[in-house]
A and B are shown apart, each in its own frame.
Chain A
Amino acid sequence: MKSESKLLSAPYTVWMTVFIVLPMLLVGYFAFTDKSGSFTLENILNVGQYSNVFLRSIWLGAVATVVSLGLGYPLAYIIAKMNARRQNVMVMLVMLPMWMNFLLRTYAWMTLLEDNGLINSALAALGLPRIHMINTAGAVVLGMVYNYIPYMILPLYSVLTKIDKSVIEAAQDLGANDREVFLKVIMPLSMPGIISGVTMVFVPAVSTFIISKMLGGGGNLLIGDLIDMQFLGSAYNPNLGSAVSLVLMVIILICMGIMNQFDDGEAAEGGGMLI
């Protein structure tokens, strides 16, 4: 079986070389050359001028990730404690919104958050003061949390349901109070779920380019917008765009490396993480 089976992955290897490895090399090539194709470091050095954009993206992405974790963990925990039938329904309800196109859902938030939007109209009708929400950093974070929170809840849930109830009972029998049980037993056991949840929210949140455009008013430039601007937007410069992409990739790979260190060997079993 061995020798001939190995050949089966040959088409895949070729495919991935052409469509994953080669494009990445191209990004590298563009990042280190200028318009005429000669070597230059200018693009990479210029990325530094956009450090504000990086700072803002990482900051907003991190806030969104923490908020998603904070909101998602309790829900995942509540769902995991329900009976099997209700669990299924709940998981489905968490996933269902993802079947509506995400551009549309984000657009709907615009309708809700605007100064004359539905929320403010409702507030005004109740005699409460209006709140300015749209086109702020808060709105961008809200958009990120909204779009990516299912990616946080689901891995957490699937880890939490697998925790053996007898372990918790044992801890309780040994005199641990609720807080201790959570901090010393449940939390460490759910670490793999937290890790994959955090990465699955953080990576897309840092690199998004639609949410900031729609909810941030275009004034809250994020890394994704910057890349889009250089390739299909108002400042055509694929060399600079490639350099920005390269730096973004480096940052994300380091972050993934850090996250994986918190995960004690579990992920390696699942097929080997990148770092």
Chain B
Amino acid sequence: MKKAGARIYTFLIFLFLYAPILVLIVFSFNDSETASRTVWGGFSLRWYRKLFEDRLILEALCNTLLIAVVSAAASTVLGTMAAIGINSMKRLPRRVMMNITNFPMVNPEIVTGVSLMLLFVSAVRLFGGRSLGMGSLFAAHITFCLPYVILSVLPKLRQMDPNLYEAAQDLGCPPVKAFFKVVLPEIMPGVVTGLIMAFTLSIDDFVISYFTSGTTQTLPIYIYSMTRKRISPEINALSTVMFAVVMVLLIIINARNARERKIEKAQERHESV
């Protein structure tokens, strides 16, 4: 009885979460001249075909990916360095640094966006330069990605035995080499987590990009300008493809993980025997 209730509840919540996605996917196959959102005109792949011919959408997608790659990479390097520095700080400066790091995460996105826009526009006015665009987007995205990188690297640094690094140096390892041979492998999971988190955040960001993009179009901005009129089913098609790819990969990875876990368990059992 209780279990059935739980099942129904879970089902209802997931229905709520997936209903609009289902609508998006279904209407990406809609065969309708007027690109209607609510009237079904039969199955077709025309929007998928159109998608790959649409220069504007593909350009926006490329911009989005380029920004995501660059800002994820930059914020990971910068953030990892910062995390190491913060980790070796004394209590008070560390608290100050952590507060600055946390600030953009608690601050409403729109305020961050607006404040960066004020900064960039003032900078353009003061120092010349053409306008906002790729440059300001890179800076903005790196800024809001940095805290996430630091917060995923720091715990790993704390878990690490500080003597390891000193031991390596005592054995005659130069500091840089000691870092790459000893410290980096230890904190690698945190770095990778930060990198990928930065990447996803950057790809999905709308609010901050909206205020700092100038004339550059990223995918979310392009979609926004469409929502003011009507969204072309091409965008539905694009999201459907992306969604499908994410889902398939999730299933593959999940299955692989499950198998690994099984093997691990078997080994554990083996060892305990």
Contact = CB atoms under 8 A, between A and B. Distances in A.
A and B touch in the complex (CB under 8 A): yes
Interface of A: 1-2, 4-13, 15-16, 18-24, 26-27, 30, 71, 74-75, 78-79, 84-85, 88-90, 92-94, 96-112, 114, 116-118, 121, 146, 149-150, 199, 203-204, 206-207, 209-210, 214, 224, 227-228, 231-232, 238, 241-242, 245, 248-249, 252-253, 256, 271-274
Given A102-B206, A112-B20, A272-B95, A5 B100 contact: no
Contacts of B166: 1
Interface in B234-255: 235-236, 239, 242-243, 246-247, 250, 254
A30 B110 contact: no
Contact of B17 (A20, A104, A149, A206): A149
A249 B108 contact: yes
B139 A19 contact: yes
A104 B223 contact: yes
Given A8-B82, A96-B247, A112-B23, A88 B114 contact: no
Give 8 closest A-B pairs by Cβ, nearest first.
A9-B85, A12-B82, A108-B20, A23-B115, A207-B108, A5-B88, A8-B85, A19-B143
A75 B9 contact: yes
23 contacts: A1-B88, A9-B83, A11-B78, A11-B81, A15-B143, A16-B101, A22-B119, A23-B119, A85-B261, A90-B10, A92-B250, A103-B220, A105-B21, A108-B24, A110-B37, A116-B38, A210-B224, A242-B114, A245-B110, A245-B114, A248-B108, A271-B98, A274-B103
How would you classify the secondary structure of chain A's contact residues: helix, strand, loop or mixed? helix
Given A8-B81, A112-B20, A256-B106, 6 more contacts: A1-B175, A8-B82, A8-B84, A101-B223, A231-B211, A272-B98
B84 A111 contact: no
Given A78-B9, A108-B21, A256-B106, A27 B115 contact: yes
Mostly helix, strand, loop or mixed at chain B's interface?
helix
Contacts of B188: none
A92 B38 CA distance: 29
Contacts of B267: none
Contacts of A94: 17
Contact of B146 (A12, A104, A118, A146): A12
A233 to B, nearest CB: 11
Contact of A103 (B18, B82, B84, B206): B206
Interface residues of B, number: 86
Given A6-B85, A207-B108, A231-B211, A97 B257 contact: no
B257 to A, nearest CB: 7
Contacts of A71: 13
